[in-house]
Amino acid sequence: MVDLKGQYNLIKNEVDKAVLDVIESTSFINGPSVKLFQKDLEKYLGVRNVIPCANGTDALQICLMGLRLIPGDEIITTDFTFASTVEVIELLGLTPVLIDIDPVSFNIDIDAVKKALTSRTKAIIPVHLFGQAAKMDELMEIADENNIFVIEDNAQAMGAKYSSKDGTIKKTGSIGHLSATSFFPSKNLGAYGDGGAISTNDDNLAEYIRGIVNHGMYKRYYHDVVGVNSRLDSIQAAILKVKLKYLDDYNERRKKAASLYTELLINHPNIITPKVISGPNSHVFHQYTIRIVDKNRDKLVEYLNKKNIPCGVYYPVPLHSQKAYKNSSYNEKEFTITNQICKEVISLPMHSELKKDQVQYIVENILSFIREN
């Protein structure tokens, strides 16, 4: 699905030197590389504050902790994403309100958000799923009108540019009140281990959150709030600082591979290809995900695997149906899209080193499966 080795080989000298420099310095925890990467990422995103942390799941949890919410407060989020979002909401004793998605973008459905609002709603967590920006204009409007927060889950969309209705173009991760991202190795900006970050333009929130990630300390050994220990490792920060320079190039290559897939698969009666919604650069194709209609998706997965073509099903089960998150208050009629989409989606190999002939080979095999089945 990804080619981490191929990508590493192209920047090996630079990365190796950055890692060795950290080891030589022995500044393993909160060394200078962490601050340097933080500054670079602030500049890249166009955001006032980045707070590095240990991983993307922590980043989401810390965003919620930063909002000083109390048990019973409701957080609206998508039914179709990785489990982190709903997991941290539950862990903090908050109430997740899972809602259906838009079938074209796979992102949170705006009408469903409006329907889910109550007097206890405190935040919305849109996920820029598969690398495509969610409808941030509409979400920020709803947040303004209802005096609630928007936390972007930017784990899959680092580098995506959202075109606003007012003509401005902003990076995802710089639009909501808070944003959480992940540097898991396979993400568009991936470390060589775990990593994550929070970003915000609100200086007060940033100050509060800098304490939360460090055991609730604002002054050494004085603990003002209950915090966590969540740090970005100095070695990972040094690697990320190198890789950030190449991110736009990596994303361009992903977009090229995506265009080629789409060119070869579009207008097929059994395939629905992805559509880019909010401006030409609003999708950075963390995944290239198609829908298989009126053919057996699971059989296609088996078929491709037999030909040694990797593929993934993100995600096979909607969150509201997961054992851990089932809840009798959910009504299946409100999840018609996620229930259907989970049976149809398949994500094809996608990374910055994907070659034209590889895409062609993958497509040929998908088409021959459809012909034969």
Ligand X SMILES: *Cc1c(COP(=O)(O)O)cnc(C)c1O
Which residues here bind ligand X, judged by CB under 6 A?
55-57, 81-82, 84, 127, 153, 155-156, 182, 184, 194, 196
**Cβ of residue 250: shortest distance to ligand X, in angstroms?**
17
**Cβ of residue 333: shortest distance to ligand X, in angstroms?**
26
How far is the C-alpha of 289 from the C-alpha of 274, rounded, in Å? Answer: 7
Measured from each CB, the residue nearest to ligand X is 56
How far is the C-alpha of 222 from the C-alpha of 120, rounded, in Å? Answer: 33
Give the alpha-carbon dihedral of 49, 52, 56, 62, to 10 degrees.
-70
Burial 349-369 (b: 16+ CB within 10 A, else e): bbbbbbeeeebeebbebbeeb
Nearer to ligand X, 33 or 55 (CB): 55
**Cβ of residue 232: shortest distance to ligand X, in angstroms?**
11
Cα distances (Å, whole numbers) of residue 191 to 23, 285, 287: 17, 18, 18
Nearer to ligand X, 55 or 179 (CB): 55
User: Is the distance from CB of 124 to CB of 143 less than 8 angstroms?
Assistant: yes
How far is the C-alpha of 88 from the C-alpha of 86, rounded, in Å? Answer: 6
**Cβ of residue 134: shortest distance to ligand X, in angstroms?**
11
User: Is the distance from CB of 162 to CB of 170 less than 8 angstroms?
Assistant: yes
Nearer to ligand X, 57 or 281 (CB): 57
Nearer to ligand X, 156 or 234 (CB): 156
Nearer to ligand X, 196 or 211 (CB): 196
**Cβ of residue 155: shortest distance to ligand X, in angstroms?**
3
**Cβ of residue 306: shortest distance to ligand X, in angstroms?**
28
Nearer to ligand X, 61 or 174 (CB): 61
Nearer to ligand X, 232 or 260 (CB): 232
Nearer to ligand X, 32 or 185 (CB): 185
**Cβ of residue 89: shortest distance to ligand X, in angstroms?**
12
Give the alpha-carbon dihedral of 192, 198, 203, 205, to 10 degrees.
-140
- DSSP-derived 3-state class of residue 287: coil
The CA-CA-CA angle for residues 368, 81, 137, to 5°, reads 110
**Cβ of residue 363: shortest distance to ligand X, in angstroms?**
25
DSSP string, 50-96: EEEES-HHHHHHHHHHHTT--TT-EEEEESSS-THHHHHHHHTT-EE
